[in-house]
Amino acid sequence: MIDGNYVWELNPPVIPSFSAENLHPVILKLLKSRGIDRKEDVVRFLRASLEDMYNPMLLKDMDKAVQRVKKGLAAGEKITVYGDYDVDGITGCCLMVRALREMGGNVDFYIPSRLDEGYGLNKEALEKIAREGTTLIITVDNGIASHDEVRYAKELGVDVIITDHHEPHEVVPDAAAVINPKQKDCPYPFKNLAGVGVAFKFIQALAGSDDEILLKYLDLAALGTIADMVPLVDENRIIAKHGLNALKNTDKPGLSALMSQSRLDDAELNAEKISYILAPRLNAAGRLSDATTAVQLLLTDDTEEARELAMALEDLNRERQALENKIYNEVREYVEKNIDLENVRVIVASSSRWHPGVIGIVASKLVQCYCMPCILIAEEGEEGKGSARSIPGFNIFEALDKLSYMLDKFGGHDQAAGFTIKVREIGTFRSKINELAREISREKWDIRLNIDLELKSEDINMELAEQLKILEPFGFGNPKPLFICKNLSVERVRAVGEGEKHLKIFLKKRRKEFSAIGFNLGAYKDKLEMAPFIDAAFYLELNEWEGVREPQLNLKDIKVPYLRDELMIKLEEEYYKRFFNKSAMFAESLCSPPDKVAGQKDNARMLKLVKAKDKRQYVKDLIESDKRAMVKVNTPYQAWRLLVYLKRFDHIKSNLGVFFNWDEADIKNKKNIILINPQAVFHRQALDFVDEIVFYDTPFSVELMEAHIFNTSSLRAHLIFNRDDLRYNYMVCEKLLPHKDLFTAVFEFLYRTLGKGPARFRLKDIGGFLGKPDFRKVNYIGIINVLNIFEELGILKYTLEGDTVHIIQFNGHVKGLSCRVSPTYQMLSNLRAKVIEFYNNFYKIQEILKQEEI
């Protein structure tokens, strides 16, 4: 029905080592699961005080770097800060330039062009910088691998201080100083600073006891740290937390203008808005043009110039968005027309029309769209620049490493990488990387959702929603806590937002109600209205509307859960096996006009429409009243729930019979009968052996309800069903009626399998083809119905023995057929339509029946 968009991976349960009166237990569990358990560590994490920052002199070579810069400042040397074109490199460069100028330095900056120069130091840039009189270069966010370039700078008479945070090689460049916490012999306790963070520590060391200088640059440090996706823990958390506050009150005209242009000046600023609103505007300069525009914006002290530069960045960002959308749509069209998504494991596409500065962003969107790795290559002449984005099950960096013999250069990490390649090699590269990807089992390709904790309904409250804010700022390494809560009943669903793309959902569990918002879940509206319950993965947030504050579930994913215990599996198997043995009779009863059964109403001696608070307890009480009872159940889930409850009681279990057909029912030898059977025709002779009949849940249509109720002879009939029962009937319909994608997948499987020769296979083979090795998750009854419908359309003839399918005849070249002309499809569609009609008109039907409250 709804199987969600992700595989949920719940963190193992944890027990905190201590409790605190002022902290919700869930907060302590979250911290424990993230490796923060000792009381002093919890206090340090939550406090995130500037006083907890480490001594910058612990960084290897910091003493050398400070000494060299102080010498340069004293001598009036020209210093050039060599940055990078992303937000980390831009903010780090500006922080360094501003601070050194404030210390009296003669300071310039240089940012290489992404398109013309690429990342890091290069000899042409060094020559230009040296010609302009620079004698000291300080790199920010680059340089750790620039051995040749540092050596060349020395030949030009220029010293180089490297400040970087990227992984160093075994040997680092022979620079005047190398400041990088990731050096293997660096004693600095925190290794995951961003490039701007390393620059910030450098300025902290230069400033010494002058804390005022340090506080001035927290805004820039936070902006770059958050944008660079480094873990927001330890010092990064301190920088981000205090820097966000500094950003709200920044004295830098460029930052103020950027936030104003982004409409963030009056909004609550958080890490998410930095990542998705501010950072893309700064990045746009480096992607499409020259990052110098962004640097000038952050360096200017002129309000009018800042406004103009911010507007220029806004224009560049709009251009970037337009380019992204254009490329995205082109790739989507190419994929739909040219790529067999059932066979291809990695999408590889190239074009000479694409801008190399934005293809990485587009590749990320395509990964989300197709749930598989995506590589886009911008061709320019004989060379292509590629950007690769992957999924957790496939290490794209390792794959590129194995194919490095056909690449000019490459770099990156397990989920994202870049490379250059000769255009003539792209076809071979496409084939080879797909071969590597096919070595990974299909189930590892499912996109996973890491769940922090499962919450009980009583945990979802204002106290927890408010306390979660103390864990902010959220981001990489300290993600926003993601929870699940299971078996939430769906009370109401309402489409909201432009185009009704979003859903407002009202949920309930154990008499406690919750409101939820589901962004971009509008397509689920009809299914959710008929879903009896869901499992929800969500962020717990505070929602304020018209002065009312309440906790709200911001839904990340939803599922109608699978029940996997042995009883449920057996009930479903037997239920669906028999469903079509009586389908003709069932279809006739389903569509019988009301007057066909109306004449039977006089036969019913007593009807009792009951509002039972607990239907299971009602049945138990009836069974214990010395009356012989038959309980009629229409759906497997309702039967499972009732049986699990009744089998707790030995005196009931021993004299209880469970049957699926009347002719199976051992009426004489069982005092009480549970009949799991949706058909309408009753055996009057069988009914002579019982005193009471209970209609436990709702039949599939009004017509079936009348046929059920008024064909019970002179029995006392208890009607304890309700409107919500029809949601379980709808679940049965969803399982029975195949969806379009299942038709396509089964046909594709048959076409390929029969093309290779064998005409006999097991149902679970199709499950494997669908990428669901857990066959309990495969809609096997849906697959059988696809085969039935194909047979009615003349596509095939088959037999089914157990779970083995034998294809006797197959015509894989038919065209123009519609499943809608199949009698089976029509019957199932009609069945679902009747359930929905009954659900929508239930209260009218209730008025017709004379209700007696008990």
Token readout for 705 is: 């309800």
pLDDT (0 to 100) of residue 64: 97
pLDDT (0 to 100) of residue 379: 94
Distance CA 192, CA 182 (A): 8
Mean pLDDT across 517-545: 90
- Reported as a pLDDT band with limits 50, 70 and 90, residue 55 is very high
Query: What average pLDDT does the structure give for the chain?
Result: 87
Q: What is the pLDDT of residues 438-449, one digit of tens each?
A: 888 766 777 889
- Whether the pLDDT of residue 573 is over 90: the answer is no
pLDDT (0 to 100) of residue 583: 52
Pairing between β-strand 347-351 and β-strand 374-380 as defined by DSSP bridges: parallel
Give the pTM.
0.78
- Grouping H, G, I as helix, E, B as strand and the rest as coil, residue 314 is helix
Pairing between β-strand 106-110 and β-strand 78-82 as defined by DSSP bridges: parallel
Token readout for 264 is: 């963030």
Q: What is the pLDDT of residues 546-572, one digit of tens each?
A: 788 899 999 999 998 766 678 888 888
Q: What is the largest CA-CA distance in the chain?
A: 111
pLDDT (0 to 100) of residue 578: 77
Mean pLDDT across 145-156: 95
- Whether the pLDDT of residue 792 is over 90: the answer is yes
Q: Are 725 and 698 in contact (CB under 8 A)?
A: yes
Q: For a pLDDT cut of 90, what percent of the chain falls above it?
A: 55
pLDDT (0 to 100) of residue 322: 93
- Whether the pLDDT of residue 606 is over 70: the answer is no
- Whether the pLDDT of residue 600 is over 60: the answer is no
DSSP letter assigned to residue 571: H
Alpha-helical runs (H) found in 177-233: 195-207, 211-216, 218-227
pLDDT (0 to 100) of residue 290: 84
- Whether the pLDDT of residue 679 is over 80: the answer is no
Distance CA 282, CA 9 (A): 35
* Domain annotation for the chain: domains and CATH numbers: 55-313 (3.90.1640.30), 339-448 (3.10.310.30), 452-553 (2.40.50), 566-727 (3.40.50.300), 737-836 (1.10.10)
DSSP letter assigned to residue 851: B
- Grouping H, G, I as helix, E, B as strand and the rest as coil, residue 60 is coil
DSSP 144-164: TT-HHHHHHHHHTT-EEEEE-
Q: What is the pLDDT of residues 722-775, one digit of tens each?
A: 888 999 999 899 888 888 878 888 888 888 777 655 588 888 777 767 655 444
- Tell me which residue of 610, 586, 659, 631 sits closest to 830, measured CA to CA: 586
Q: What is the pLDDT of residues 760-790, one digit of tens each?
A: 888 877 776 765 544 445 667 888 899 999 9
- Whether the pLDDT of residue 317 is over 80: the answer is yes
Rg of the chain on CA atoms, in Å? 34
pLDDT (0 to 100) of residue 18: 86
pLDDT (0 to 100) of residue 814: 77
Matching residue, tokens 């069988």: 686
Mean pLDDT across 323-330: 93
pLDDT (0 to 100) of residue 267: 64
Token readout for 426 is: 């792209």
- Reported as a pLDDT band with limits 50, 70 and 90, residue 195 is very high
Q: What is the pLDDT of residues 625-657, one digit of tens each?
A: 888 888 999 999 899 989 999 988 988 888 888
Q: For a pLDDT cut of 70, what percent of the chain falls above it?
A: 90
- Reported as a pLDDT band with limits 50, 70 and 90, residue 686 is low
Mean pLDDT across 155-180: 94
Most confident of 524-528, 667-671, 825-829: 825-829
Sign of CA pseudo-dihedral 271, 277, 281, 283: positive
Mean pLDDT across 680-693: 70
Token readout for 383 is: 């060379």
- Reported as a pLDDT band with limits 50, 70 and 90, residue 854 is very low
Beta bridge mates, 78: 106, 134
- Whether the pLDDT of residue 19 is over 90: the answer is no
pLDDT (0 to 100) of residue 574: 84
Q: What is the pLDDT of residues 223-253, one digit of tens each?
A: 999 999 899 999 999 999 999 999 999 999 9
pLDDT (0 to 100) of residue 773: 42
Determine which helix (DSSP H) or strand (DSSP E) holds 553, and give its type and residue range.
strand 548-559
Mean pLDDT across 98-110: 96
HEC letters along 631-643:
EEECCHHHHHHHH
- Whether the pLDDT of residue 166 is over 50: the answer is yes
- Grouping H, G, I as helix, E, B as strand and the rest as coil, residue 272 is helix
- Whether the pLDDT of residue 140 is over 50: the answer is yes
